[in-house]
Amino acid sequence: MTDALTAVPAAGRRRWPKRRRVLWLTLIGGCVAAALIAVFAASPAQSTVSASSPLIGKAAPVTSGTSITGKGVTDLAALSGKWVFVNFFASWCPPCQAEMPELEQFQEEHSTAGTATIFGVEYDPTDASAAKGFLTGRSATWPAINDPSADVTWGVHNPPESYLVAPSGTVVEKWFGGVTAATIDAAIASYSR
Amino acid sequence: MTIALGNAALILSLLGAVGGIITLVIGLTRGKDHLLRTGRGYVWLIVLGAVVATAALQYALINTDFRLSYVAGNDSTGTPLLFRITAMWSALQGSILLWGLILAGYLGAMAFHFRKRITDPVVGWAMVVGYSVAAFFFILMLTASNPFDRAPNPIVTNGPGPDPLLQDHILVAFHPPLLYLGLVGFTVPFCFAMAGLITGRVGEGWLVETRRWTLFAWCFLTGGVILGAWWSYQVLGWGGYWAWDPVENVAFLPWLTGTAYIHSVMVQERRGMLRVWNLSLLSATFSLTILGTFLDRSGVINSIHSFSGGAVGPELLAFFGLIVAVSIGLLAWRGDRLRSPGLIDSPLSREGAFLANNLLFGAFAFVVLLGTVFPLIVQVVNGQQITVGGPYFNTMTMPIVVCLLFLMAIAPVLPWRKASGELLRRRLLWPAAAAVGTLALCVVFGIRGLNPLLAFGLGAFAGASALRQLVLATRRQGWRGAVGRANGGMIVHIGVVLIAVAFAASHSYAHAASFNLTPGQSVTYRGHTFKYLGLRTVNNSQRSSIEASVQVDGGKVYRPAVSTYPLADETVGTPSVASTLLHDVYLTLPAVPSTTTGAATIGVLIEPLVSWVWIGGGVMVVGTVLSAWPGKRRRRPTDPVSAPIEGIAAPARAVSAAGDDSSVGVGAGT
Amino acid sequence: MSARFLRRWGPWLLIGLVLVVALVIGVQRNTPQTLDQRVDHLAGLYRCPSCDGETAEESNTATSVEIRNLIRADLQQGQSAADIRTTLVADYGPGILESPQTHGFTLLVWVAPVVAIVAAIVGLSLAFRRWKRRLGAPGSPSDEDRVLVEEALARPLQDPAGLPEEEQ
Q: What is the pLDDT of residues B532-568, one digit of tens each?
A: 998 889 998 888 889 999 999 888 999 999 888 887 7
- Residue B452 to residue B505: CA distance in whole angstroms: 6
Give the phi and the psi of residue B421 in degrees, each rounded to 5: -60, -35
More confident residue, B336 or A71: A71
In this prediction, residue C167 carries a pLDDT of: 41
pLDDT bracket for residue B330 (50, 70, 90): very high
More confident residue, B75 or B306: B75
More confident residue, B284 or B340: B284
Q: How far is CA A118 from CA A100, A108, A135, B38, in A?
A: 11, 10, 12, 75
Interface contacts A/C by beta carbons within 8 Å: 54
Decide if B274 contacts B226 (C-beta within 8 A): no
In this prediction, residue A126 carries a pLDDT of: 79
The answer on A15 and A106 residing in a single domain is no
Decide if B523 contacts B552 (C-beta within 8 A): no
> Considering only CA atoms, which of B305, B10, B309 is closest in space to residue B140?
B10
Rounded to a whole number of angstroms, the distance from the CA of A123 to the nearest CA of chain C is 7
What value does the mean pLDDT take over residues C91-105? 85
Decide if B257 contacts B279 (C-beta within 8 A): no
- Residue B503 to residue A11: CA distance in whole angstroms: 56
More confident residue, C145 or B304: C145
More confident residue, B156 or B18: B18
> Considering only CA atoms, which of B605, B606, B607, B604 is closest in space to residue B516?
B604
- pLDDT per residue of chain A (193 residues) written in tens, 0 to 9: 444 444 444 443 445 556 677 788 888 889 999 999 999 888 877 766 665 788 888 888 888 888 888 888 888 888 888 899 999 988 888 888 888 888 888 888 888 888 888 898 998 887 777 888 888 888 788 888 888 888 899 988 888 889 999 988 899 888 888 888 888 888 888 888 7
Lowest-confidence segment of B244-248, B442-446, B576-580, C135-139 by average pLDDT: C135-139
Residue B440 exposure: Cα atoms within 13 Å on the Cβ side: 14
The answer on A27 and A96 residing in a single domain is no
- Residue B317 to residue A39: CA distance in whole angstroms: 11
In this prediction, residue B637 carries a pLDDT of: 65
Give the phi and the psi of residue B539 in degrees, each rounded to 5: -115, 140
Q: Which residue of A has its CA nearest to B314?
A: A41
The answer on A61 and A32 residing in a single domain is no
> Considering only CA atoms, which of B348, B350, B290 is closest in space to residue B319?
B290
- Residue A19 to residue A22: CA distance in whole angstroms: 5
What value does the mean pLDDT take over residues C106-127? 92
* Beta-strand pair B528-539/B522-525: antiparallel
Q: Which residue of C has its CA nearest to A3?
A: C148
The answer on A68 and A115 residing in a single domain is yes
Decide if B122 contacts B199 (C-beta within 8 A): yes
In this prediction, residue B213 carries a pLDDT of: 92
- Tens digit of each residue's pLDDT (9 = 90 or more) over B255-274: 999 999 999 988 888 888 88
What ranges make up the beta strands (E) of B140-187? none
- Residue B94 to residue B62: CA distance in whole angstroms: 14
pLDDT bracket for residue B667 (50, 70, 90): very low
Residue A156, domain CATH: 3.40.30.10
- Biggest CA–CA distance in chain B, Å, is 86
| Residue B231: CB atoms within 10 Å | 21
In this prediction, residue B334 carries a pLDDT of: 84
The answer on A176 and A124 residing in a single domain is yes
Give the phi and the psi of residue B480 in degrees, each rounded to 5: -70, -10
Give the phi and the psi of residue B363 in degrees, each rounded to 5: -65, -40
| Residue B423: CB atoms within 10 Å | 14
- On whether any CB of chain B is under 8 Å from the CB of C28, the answer is yes
Q: Across the interface, do B448 and C29 touch by the CB < 8 Å criterion?
A: yes
Decide if C127 contacts C134 (C-beta within 8 A): no
Residue C138: strand, helix, or coil: coil
Task: For residue B324, give every residue at least 6 positions away whose Cβ sits within 8 Å of its Cβ, in sequence order, or none.
Answer: A30, A33, A37, B283, B287
Q: Based on the structure, what is the number of domains in chain A?
A: 2
Q: List alpha helices for B236-341, DSSP H.
A: 246-271, 275-298, 313-333
> Considering only CA atoms, which of B127, B268, B264, B128 is closest in space to residue B203?
B268
Q: Is the pLDDT of residue B96 over 50?
A: yes
- Tens digit of each residue's pLDDT (9 = 90 or more) over B435-456: 999 999 999 988 888 889 999 9
In this prediction, residue A1 carries a pLDDT of: 40
The answer on A123 and A92 residing in a single domain is yes
In this prediction, residue C94 carries a pLDDT of: 82
> Considering only CA atoms, which of B169, B144, B165 is closest in space to residue B293?
B144
The answer on A54 and A17 residing in a single domain is no
- Residue B557 to residue B551: CA distance in whole angstroms: 4
- Residue A126 to residue A146: CA distance in whole angstroms: 10
**Overall pTM > 0.90:** no
Percent of chain B with pLDDT over 90: 56
- Chain C residues in contact with B243 by the CB 8 A cut-off are 53-54
Q: Across the interface, do C62 and A151 touch by the CB < 8 Å criterion?
A: yes
- On whether any CB of chain C is under 8 Å from the CB of A53, the answer is yes
Decide if A108 contacts A175 (C-beta within 8 A): no
Decide if B387 contacts B371 (C-beta within 8 A): no
Partners of residue A117 on adjacent β-strands: A84
Q: How far is CA B208 from CA B53, B271, B352, B637, in A?
A: 35, 12, 19, 7
Mean pLDDT of chain B, nearest integer: 88
In terms of Cβ atoms closer than 10 Å to its own Cβ (0-12, 13-18, 19+), residue B156 is middle
- Tens digit of each residue's pLDDT (9 = 90 or more) over C62-81: 889 899 999 999 999 988 88
Q: List alpha helices for B389-515, DSSP H.
A: 390-410, 421-427, 429-444, 450-477, 485-508
Q: Is the pLDDT of residue B583 over 60?
A: yes
- On whether any CB of chain A is under 8 Å from the CB of B376, the answer is yes
Partners of residue A88 on adjacent β-strands: A121, A161
In this prediction, residue B510 carries a pLDDT of: 86
- Residue B652 to residue B656: CA distance in whole angstroms: 7
End-to-end CA distance of chain C: 58
In this prediction, residue B566 carries a pLDDT of: 82
Rounded to a whole number of angstroms, the distance from the CA of C18 to the nearest CA of chain A is 47
In this prediction, residue A29 carries a pLDDT of: 87
- Chain C residues in contact with A53 by the CB 8 A cut-off are 93
What value does the mean pLDDT take over residues B210-228? 93
In this prediction, residue B404 carries a pLDDT of: 96
* Helix-helix angle B211-235:B187-199, to 10 degrees: 150
Segment holding C144, helix H or strand E: helix C143-154
Segment holding C72, helix H or strand E: helix C62-77
In this prediction, residue B459 carries a pLDDT of: 96
pLDDT bracket for residue C10 (50, 70, 90): confident
In this prediction, residue B666 carries a pLDDT of: 35
- Chain A residues in contact with C88 by the CB 8 A cut-off are 152
- Tens digit of each residue's pLDDT (9 = 90 or more) over B119-155: 889 999 999 999 999 999 999 999 988 999 998 888 8
In this prediction, residue B409 carries a pLDDT of: 94
Q: Is the pLDDT of residue B470 over 90?
A: yes
* Beta-strand pair A144-146/A66-67: antiparallel
The answer on A139 and A66 residing in a single domain is yes
Rounded to a whole number of angstroms, the distance from the CA of B301 to the nearest CA of chain A is 6
Q: Which residue of B has its CA nearest to A25?
A: B332
- Residue B313 to residue B298: CA distance in whole angstroms: 4
- On whether any CB of chain B is under 8 Å from the CB of C62, the answer is no
More confident residue, B363 or A129: B363
- Chain C residues in contact with B391 by the CB 8 A cut-off are 44-45, 98-99
The answer on A55 and A29 residing in a single domain is no
Q: How far is CA B656 from CA B43, B273, B630, B669, in A?
A: 40, 21, 21, 19
The answer on A20 and A95 residing in a single domain is no
- On whether any CB of chain B is under 8 Å from the CB of C105, the answer is yes
Q: Is the pLDDT of residue B494 over 80?
A: yes
The answer on A60 and A36 residing in a single domain is no
- Domain carrying residue A35: 4-42
- The shortest CB-CB distance from C105 to any of B378, B388, B440 is to B378
DSSP string, B557-584: EE--EEEEETTTTEEEEE-EEEE-SSEE
Q: Across the interface, do C128 and B344 touch by the CB < 8 Å criterion?
A: yes
Partners of residue B552 on adjacent β-strands: B530
- Residue B431 to residue B437: CA distance in whole angstroms: 10
Q: Across the interface, do A22 and B338 touch by the CB < 8 Å criterion?
A: yes
What value does the mean pLDDT take over residues B281-301? 91
pLDDT bracket for residue B338 (50, 70, 90): confident
In this prediction, residue A18 carries a pLDDT of: 60
In this prediction, residue B138 carries a pLDDT of: 96
The answer on A59 and A113 residing in a single domain is yes
pLDDT bracket for residue B420 (50, 70, 90): confident
Would you call the peptide bond into A160 cis, given omega within 30 degrees of 0 as the criterion?
yes
In this prediction, residue B644 carries a pLDDT of: 61
